[in-house]
Amino acid sequence: MRDTILLLWRVRLRRSPARIVALVLLIALGGGVFLAVAAGARRTAAAYDEVADATDAAELGSSYVRDDLETLSALVETMPAVDAFTQVVGFQVSVADAPLGGMTSFAYYTDPLVVDRPIVLEGRLPRAADEAFVNEAGATGAGASVGEEIEIVIATPDFTEFTPETVTVVGIGAFADEVYEDETGAKPTLVLADEFVATHRDLIAWGALVVAVAPDAGGADVVAQMLDAGLTIDNDRRADRDRARAAIRPLALTLAVLALLAGLAMIIVVGLALRRLVRRTPAEARSLAAAGCSRRMLLAADMGVVLTVAVAGIVGALGVAVLASPLFPQGRARRIPALRGFDIDVTVLGFGALALLLALTALVAATSAAQPAELIQARDAIDVLVLAIIALQIGVMATVAHNLLSFVRERRRAFAVLKAMGFTRRQIRTTVLCQSGLVIAVALVFAVPLGIVAGRWLYSAFAGDIGVIVEPTVPFPALVVTVIAAVVLVQLVALVPAGRARRTNVTPALMPE
């Protein structure tokens, strides 16, 4: 029995090598997209936690007005609930010839810098008194890049005297709480070196302290000890983390839904193709039955073929997923170099590959791949393809909706500025609808010709398989209707983010945080 099954398996593989290679490539590509997006969804969801770990983000913040900086450091070091801390001192700084509203300037007074380290995107942190580090908003506002000198003016705490200085920008980056900040609302920030403090101690205007809680202590313990020391709690960074995670969640959820839809579509299409690969004509079935092959033996041989093709394709899918991993995480965290690059999520890739293998084999087995060909109706194949197309269409609509919602959320203050300048609600809504119209227009430029080519290929393959010889034609009236329907559908989906944009409240959106 085993020899017979192996013989049937080898004959099937040798009879259709071109179709088998095509199926392996299809599984590798479709499964790779599914696995890559699924792993990317998890990587995107964990992006802020990775930022917090990479920067040793603080959990509590406090401001102080003490003149004796060394005494404060010694005091905090005696608090058992504090694991580590960073002490900063602030200055009243403005950039000459480039007024930046709400600019923050400070210097680190902790060496080495442990808690709340900035994310360096280019260059390095300052070391000398004439060096400075700016965040992205500060670099854009000052028109500065790494290596350039900028003129700054430092005011005394009472704003009675002003001292000009020249500093060299040695680094550009971001802070952990800016990773998912509204890009129109990120405050310009200029960071000076601790050497600067030594020569400008009389110009210190304020001080701040950020701490990390000790592993065996709780936030309440730190708060109690800091309050007993006469410090105030100005910022609970744990709440900021929760807001950042909430900002990431819609994007991660969208990617997860897209991965699920891509996986379902791939399983349906490939499962249909695998079923066609292993089916037999009535004559073949009768010949094999006469030779003593039972239905169980035929099914075992067919499932062996399916497993061979599926395993080969899934191995390729794993490779595609790893090669595509640098595309993630998505969102604003993607601009941080440390979060990009190749990544192998063993959990997602392992369970995802197993799910694909089980789904494909179960689908073929459930549809009785060993049954004669006349029991496999063309209508069933069409219904399966329709389901796959619907699943992909839902995924496309979800992607468009998410992108537009992200567009509205990240430009909330920009819309508020437009409304303050006189834009009406109707004009705001039109702006968002134009954005969605541009997206669908660019997509259709590529989708229409690719769809025509793919449709002709699928029809030719299907018609040739059932013995129908008809030259495929392009139904232009139906194509025009489809294009119009796509535009209308996308615009209907865009009404949701457009409505959110037109309801932007000007005062809270423009209020400094």
* 204-253 pLDDT per residue, tens: 988 888 888 888 888 788 888 888 888 888 777 777 777 777 778 878 88
User: How far, in Å, CA of 513 to CA of 509, rounded?
Assistant: 9
Closest listed residue to residue 209, CA positions, set 94, 104, 75, 101: 75
User: How far, in Å, CA of 112 to CA of 86, rounded?
Assistant: 9
**DSSP category for residue 56:** T
| Residue 3, phi then psi, degrees to nearest 5 | -65, -40
Task: Answer whether 188's CB lies under 8 Å from 102's CB.
Answer: yes
Q: Domain residue spans in the chain?
A: 2-52+243-510, 53-242
Tokens in use for 113? 């810098």
pTM exceeding 0.75: no
Tokens in use for 23? 């199926």
User: How far, in Å, CA of 250 to CA of 259, rounded?
Assistant: 14
Higher-pLDDT residue of 56, 33: 33
* 384-426 pLDDT per residue, tens: 566 666 666 666 676 777 677 777 766 777 777 788 788 888 8
Give residue 323's pLDDT.
95
Q: Are strands 206-213 and 82-95 parallel, antiparallel or unpaired?
A: antiparallel
User: How far, in Å, CA of 179 to CA of 109, rounded?
Assistant: 24
Q: How far is CA 118 from the centre of its chain?
A: 22
Torsion of CA 33, 35, 36, 38, to 10 degrees: 110
Least confident of 99-108, 247-256, 378-387, 455-464: 378-387
Average pLDDT over residues 485-508: 78
The 3-state DSSP class for residue 72 equals helix
Least confident of 82-86, 337-341, 343-347, 358-362: 337-341
Residue 326: pLDDT band with limits 50, 70, 90:
very high
Residue 168: pLDDT band with limits 50, 70, 90:
very high
| 116, pLDDT greater than 60 | yes
Enumerate residues 6+ apart whose C-beta is below 8 A from 448: 479, 483
| 142, pLDDT greater than 80 | yes
| 324, pLDDT greater than 70 | yes
User: How far, in Å, CA of 76 to CA of 82, rounded?
Assistant: 7
Enumerate residues 6+ apart whose C-beta is below 8 A from 311: 357
**DSSP category for residue 178:** G
Enumerate residues 6+ apart whose C-beta is below 8 A from 145: 139, 169, 172
The 3-state DSSP class for residue 191 equals strand
| 365, pLDDT greater than 60 | yes
Higher-pLDDT residue of 63, 24: 24
| 381, pLDDT greater than 60 | no
Least confident of 138-147, 231-240, 344-353: 231-240
Which range among 231-245, 290-304, 328-342 has the greatest average pLDDT?
Answer: 328-342
Q: Produce one character per residue of 208-237: b if its CB has 16 or more CB atoms within 10 Å, e if not.
A: bbbbbbeeeeeeebbbebbeeeebeeebeb
| 369, pLDDT greater than 60 | no
Average pLDDT over residues 471-495: 80
Enumerate residues 6+ apart whose C-beta is below 8 A from 394: 261
- The separation between the first and the last C-alpha atoms of the chain, rounded to the nearest angstrom, is 75
| 372, pLDDT greater than 50 | no
Q: How far is CA 353 from the centre of its chain?
A: 21
Task: Answer whether 83's CB lies under 8 Å from 18's CB.
Answer: no
Task: Answer whether 373's CB lies under 8 Å from 281's CB.
Answer: yes
Q: How far is CA 251 from the centre of its chain?
A: 6
Tokens in use for 157? 């705490």
CA atoms within 13 A on the CB side of 273: 21
User: How far, in Å, CA of 418 to CA of 430, rounded?
Assistant: 13
| 363, pLDDT greater than 70 | yes
Residue 376: pLDDT band with limits 50, 70, 90:
very low
Give residue 171's pLDDT.
95
Enumerate residues 6+ apart whose C-beta is below 8 A from 299: 365, 368, 369, 370
Task: Answer whether 25's CB lies under 8 Å from 316's CB.
Answer: yes
Average pLDDT taken over every residue of the chain: 80
DSSP string, 247-309: HHHHHHHHHHHHHHHHHHHHHHHHHHHHHHHH-B-HHHHHHHHHTT--HHHHHHHHHHHHHHH
Residue 380: pLDDT band with limits 50, 70, 90:
low
Task: Answer whether 473's CB lies under 8 Å from 452's CB.
Answer: no
Residue 373: pLDDT band with limits 50, 70, 90:
very low
Give residue 374's pLDDT.
42
